[in-house]
Amino acid sequence: MNLTEYRASSSEQQRTADLLRLMPTKGRSALDIGARDGHFSLLMADRFEEVTALDLTHPNIPHPRVRCIKGNAARMQFADRTFDFVFCAEVLEHLPIAILQKACQEMARVVSDRILIGVPYKQDTRVGRTTCYSCGKRNPPWGHVNAFDEQRIAKLFPSCTLESISFVGLTTARSNWLSAALMDFAGNPYGTYEQEEPCIYCDRRLIAPPRRDLGQLIATKCAFGLRKISEILSKPRGNWMHLILRKI
């Protein structure tokens, strides 16, 4: 993924603006989990005296108030209540369930005040899923192995209370079991094969599907028609959910 183009898109700018609106305007210390290119770490450095940028690979963010650390969100070495504020967006949807639960426990442990979470809202991961042509298994789009709503976030953070919630964007993307089964039969030709994330099973890069035969072409057309019915019946919902959690 070209992060420069991604950050410049209107949808991403809208989401960034909402996250900044929810973020404290000043503070002593903040933790950016899954810092990647440092986009949010740098924005947070304008508000906090010190920002710790954490990622699985060592971040490279040249700023005097940003401290870069290679580490795992599920096994953080920081003391309890080290940070006033913890920021975590575009991360939780990628974590296997055992790691997800531990990472949320760790965030609640190292924060003293607030946590800002950003996740896709009620995503139907059957829409846009891929087939790995190395191992033959099906993958959720963008490597999103988790779906979230307000209740699931609350259960993952039992030591916090929900202070505010907002939604960004609108979507009606929805599938159904028959449409998904037909698309699987067709080889999931319209999946998110451009994603950076490898196959969640064999860890190999996803490659574009081969040419479909007549039966697969017919299955694809039927799958789109059935999916359209689900989307017509589906109420528009937020595409992204942003939540502020306060430590009890």
pLDDT of residue 2: 66
Q: Which two tokens stand for residue 192?
A: 């998110």
Do the beta carbons of residue 85 and residue 24 sit within 8 Å? yes
Q: What is the pLDDT along the chain (248 residues), one digit of tens a residue?
A: 666 777 778 888 999 999 999 999 999 999 999 999 999 999 999 999 999 999 999 999 999 999 999 999 999 999 999 999 999 999 999 999 989 999 999 999 999 999 999 999 999 999 999 999 999 999 999 999 999 999 999 999 999 999 999 999 999 999 999 999 999 999 999 999 999 999 999 999 999 999 999 999 999 999 999 999 999 999 999 999 999 999 99
Per-residue pLDDT at 184:
98
Q: How many CB atoms lie within 10 A of CB 92?
A: 26
Q: Which residue has the tokens 């950076």?
A: 196
Q: Where are the domains of the chain?
A: 3-247
CATH top class, domain 3-247: alpha beta
**What's the pLDDT at 186?**
98
CA distances from 239 to 4, 105, 115 (A): 21, 25, 20
**What pLDDT, on the 0 to 100 scale, is given for residue 9?**
85
Q: Tokens standing for 37?
A: 């290119």
List Cβ neighbours of 244 (8 Å cut-off, separation of 6 or more): 22, 114, 115, 116, 162, 163, 164, 165
* Residue 31: strand pairing partners: 52, 86
For residues 61 and 29, give the distance between their C-alpha atoms in angstroms, rounded to a whole number: 17
Instruction: Please name the helix (run of DSSP H) or strand (run of DSSP E) that holds residue 154, with its range, or none.
Output: helix 150-156
DSSP β-bridge partners for residue 54: 33, 69
What is the model's pLDDT at position 88? 98
Q: 34 — alpha (psi -120 to 50), left (phi > 0) or beta?
A: left
Q: What percentage of the chain's residues is helix, strand, coil (to nearest 5)?
A: 35, 25, 40
| pLDDT value of position 85 | 98
pLDDT at 7: 74
Q: What angle do CA 237, 187, 189 make, to 5 degrees?
A: 60
Q: Indicate the pTM of the whole model.
A: 0.93
Cα–Cα distance between 227 and 24 in angstroms, integer? 41
Res 10: pLDDT: 85
What's the farthest any 2 CA atoms get from each other in the chain?
Answer: 62
